[in-house]
Structure formats: structure tokens, C-alpha cells
Amino acid sequence: MRSCFFMAICLLLFQCTKEEANTTFPYPKLSDYQLFKGEMKLLSPNDELLEFEPTASLFTDYAFKKRFVKIPKDSVAHLPEHPDEPIVFPNETILVKNFYYPLDFSKPEGERKIIETRLLIRTKNTWEAYTYLWNEAQTEALLKNVGATVPVTYFDKDTVKLDYVVPQKTQCRSCHQRDGEMQPIGPKGKQLADQLSRWKALGKIDSDQFTGKKLVPPFDPNYPLEDRARSYLDVNCGHCHSSTGPASTSGLHYNREETRNFHLGVMKSPVAAGLGGGGLKFDIKPGSSEESIVVYRMNSTHPGVMMPELGRVTVHQEAVDLIRAWINSL
């Protein structure tokens, strides 16, 4: 009798240990999460994944992106009141971001090469970032914590070749910090305002009533120039350059809600110029983009000059033109 009792306890402990092992992140392979159905390279989401698309996208060397979120069953996300705060997701939420290049940009739905999939996973009220590097056969992606450089070739009017940089795990925190804690960047009400009703109908968020200032597509000429420029700066710079971001000490605040010219850099001298200042005096000199440090840094790929510091090895020329036009209009 005592022997049977002992065996039952051992079996129970074994089962608990096995269950705990099955829910311990990160998994070694992307397929272990069972996020996609069918061939993995098709990125066809399973029924638990919800696809979303931010209004203004973070630039990553012209890479295309597919984004999904897996919110646990019977749980809902919370839409915060402040427009710059990210949506508050429940524990066990997985944010999925796939980076890929069509071989021919004129055929965005055609043959493509997936480079990496980044996951943000929330457990025990803490977010952790994990990157998975896809193999050449496009059949699997493996956990990669130390970063990588991947040669990429695609056609866009001309043949383009670049060395795409996959970030190290330790670098993720440099952009994803908010008040010293890891947080998502993209999923905010101002980015997803027009998609929240779908989330609400699916029971995935507690409210779809976003009342702040929405972002707009930066390169859609149907919107005012200032709204487009400020939307681009918000998503590409505002997660660091805000009162709660890692670059708060710079005094530059590029989140869309900022209205004070000084904190936007207008006639503001940089806190620490150095190489990144380019010998210029002001972050933004109204009417003169050529004398504005913001444009100088956006238009560089020098490691000691370029902004953003991570996430690109090329210049986003369309964005440089956009910010130039905005500054010249001031």
C-alpha cells in the first residue's frame, strides 16, 4: 500500500515537471510554438493568432513584415487611457513579428525570403524577447541569441544587395525599454485605432474607444505633411526619444503627443553633440533641413552618427525626404 502511494506521488511529480517543461520559454525551434499551419514559410496563422498591421511602420532596411498576436483563451488585453502607452496584454501573450523580403518588390505576394521571426513573450508580468533565424530551405527557424548577418538580394527597379543584421538578444532592451522595463513598441491604440473594433468583436480587448491622436501613413500624400512627419518620427524615434524612453535625457521627445517645440528639437542644441552633431547647432532649424541635426543623422550609416542606432544598415531615403520637407515648411 505504501509502495503504491509512493509510486503515485512520483508519477504526479513527473507529470507536473513535464507540464512545466512544456511551458518554459524559449523553445529551441519556432515550430515548437505551433503558431502556423501548413508549410511554415507560408506564415499561415493558426486559429489562435490575430493578425494586425500598425498604421506607421518601423523602418528595417526595407524589409516587409507580418505581425500577429496570440492572446490566451479567456483573457483580454487592456486599452490604456494614455495614447502613448502600449496595449496591456495578459500573461502568456506572444507577439510575433516576421521579417522577409520579396525577391521582386513589384510582386510583394510572390516568392520571398524570410530572414527572422521575433517573439515578445509575457510571463510573470515580464516581457522577454527571442529571435529565431530561418534556414535557407525556409522550413524552420532556430533560436538565435547572439545575432547574425544575413546577405540579402532583391529586385526593386535595380538589383539591391545588403547585409541584413539580426540583433542580439541584449540589444532588444535598448529600444524596448519604457520606464526601465521591457515593453512592446508597436501595439498602441494610436497605431491600431481602426483595427480595435475587430479585436473587441473577437473578445480580445476590453475597449475599442481610442480617443487620442491617431498616427497616419507617413508616405500617403492624402494626409497633411506635419501629421505624416510626426507619425514617422513617433514610430521610428519616439520609443527611445520620449520622457519614458532610454533617450529621455536628450530632451528630445518624438512621440506624437509632444507639442512643445523645444522638446521637438526646434532651435534646441543637443545635450551631447560629438560626432553625431556634424558641426551643426540645432536638432531642428526651421526652414533649413540642411542645418538640422535630425536630417544629418537620418541620412547617415556611420555607426557614430546614424539614428536610429540599431535596426538598419541603409538610409531610408523616402523618410529623409519627408522630414526634410517638413522642416523646410516650418
Do 250 and 139 sit in the same domain of this protein? Answer: no
The answer on pLDDT for 265 being more than 60 is yes
Q: ω before 26 within 30° of 0 (cis)?
A: yes
Mean pLDDT value of segment 286-291: 98
Instruction: For residues 79 and 23, give the distance between their C-alpha atoms in angstroms, rounded to a whole number.
Output: 27
Do 169 and 309 sit in the same domain of this protein? Answer: no
- Residue 236, C-beta contacts closer than 8 angstroms, at least 6 positions apart: 58, 59, 308, 319
Do 77 and 168 sit in the same domain of this protein? Answer: yes
CB 97 within 8 A of CB 117: yes
Picking from 201, 236, 266, the residue at the C-terminal end of a domain is 201
Mean pLDDT value of segment 95-119: 97
210 in any annotated domain: no
Q: Tens digits of per-residue pLDDT, 89-99?
A: 999 999 999 99
77 in any annotated domain: yes
Can you give the pLDDT at residue 182? 83
Instruction: For residues 172 and 240, give the distance between their C-alpha atoms in angstroms, rounded to a whole number.
Output: 12
Do 85 and 142 sit in the same domain of this protein? Answer: yes
Instruction: For residues 290 and 275, give the distance between their C-alpha atoms in angstroms, rounded to a whole number.
Output: 16
Grid cell locating 161: 544587395
Do 83 and 120 sit in the same domain of this protein? Answer: yes
Range of the domain at 94: 22-201
The answer on pLDDT for 17 being more than 50 is no
Q: How many domains does the chain have?
A: 2
Picking from 167, 201, 235, the residue at the C-terminal end of a domain is 201
Q: How many other C-beta atoms can be found within 10 angstroms of the C-beta atom of residue 286? A: 15
Do 193 and 230 sit in the same domain of this protein? Answer: no
DSSP summary character for residue 59: P
- Residue 31, C-beta contacts closer than 8 angstroms, at least 6 positions apart: 40, 140, 141
Grid cell locating 138: 525556409
- Residue 78, C-beta contacts closer than 8 angstroms, at least 6 positions apart: 87, 88, 205, 206, 207
Q: Which helix (DSSP H) or strand (DSSP E) does residue 31 occupy?
A: none
Confidence label for 107 from pLDDT (cuts 50, 70 and 90): very high
Higher-confidence residue of 118 and 243: namely 118
CB 16 within 8 A of CB 23: no
Instruction: For residues 251 and 224, give the distance between their C-alpha atoms in angstroms, rounded to a whole number.
Output: 26
Q: Tens digits of per-residue pLDDT, 217-258?
A: 999 999 999 999 999 999 999 989 988 888 888 999 999 999
140 in any annotated domain: yes
Do 36 and 129 sit in the same domain of this protein? Answer: yes
Could you tell me the pTM of the whole model? Answer: 0.89
Closest CA to 186 of 313, 51, 33: 51
Grid cell locating 159: 538589383
118 in any annotated domain: yes
Q: Tens digits of per-residue pLDDT, 164-174?
A: 999 887 777 66
Mean pLDDT value of segment 102-112: 96
* Edge-first strand listing for the sheet containing 126-134: 49-52, 64-70, 94-102, 112-123, 126-134, 141-143
114 in any annotated domain: yes
Picking from 201, 233, 248, the residue at the C-terminal end of a domain is 201
Do 282 and 137 sit in the same domain of this protein? Answer: no
Mean pLDDT value of segment 11-25: 47
Q: Tens digits of per-residue pLDDT, 63-77?
A: 999 999 999 999 999
The answer on pLDDT for 180 being more than 90 is no
Do 157 and 299 sit in the same domain of this protein? Answer: no
- Residue 170, C-beta contacts closer than 8 angstroms, at least 6 positions apart: none
Q: How many other C-beta atoms can be found within 10 angstroms of the C-beta atom of residue 240? A: 24
Mean pLDDT value of segment 185-195: 95
Residue carrying the nine cell digits 545588403: 162
Do 30 and 178 sit in the same domain of this protein? Answer: yes
Higher-confidence residue of 158 and 244: namely 158
